[in-house]
């Protein structure tokens, strides 16, 4: 596991410690969770569970019906 040294202004450090304490985790774990969240390359499970949550949402074919036909593409 890697280690990183980060320098914060005093007011930011106070807010960081307050947020970590409110979450009930050490500062290092709070920061690690924030970095993991901001650098994630997949959708969170909570978002994936929303798939199909709107039963009246139109299917792609229905949405595309009003767009007309695409032009033929040029070959590469």
State pLDDT tens for residues 34-65: 999 999 999 989 999 988 888 888 888 888 88
State pLDDT tens for residues 12-40: 999 999 999 999 999 999 999 999 999 99
| Domain residue ranges in the chain | 1-44
> What's the confidence (pLDDT) of residue 33?
95
Give the Cα separation of 6 and 70 in Å (integer).
52
pLDDT at 11 over 90: yes
> What's the confidence (pLDDT) of residue 39?
95
CB distance 30 to 23 below 8 Å: yes
Q: Residue 70 has which token pair?
A: 């695409």
> What's the confidence (pLDDT) of residue 22?
98
> What's the confidence (pLDDT) of residue 61?
87
């Amino acid at each position: 596991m890697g280690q990183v040294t980060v320098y914060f202004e005093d007011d930011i450090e106070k807010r960081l410690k307050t947020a970590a304490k409110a979450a009930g985790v050490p500062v290092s774990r709070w920061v690690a969770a924030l970095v993991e969240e901001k650098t994630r390359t997949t959708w969170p499970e909570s978002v994936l569970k929303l798939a199909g949550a709107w039963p009246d949402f139109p299917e792609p074919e229905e949405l595309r019906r009003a767009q007309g036909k695409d032009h033929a593409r040029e070959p590469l």
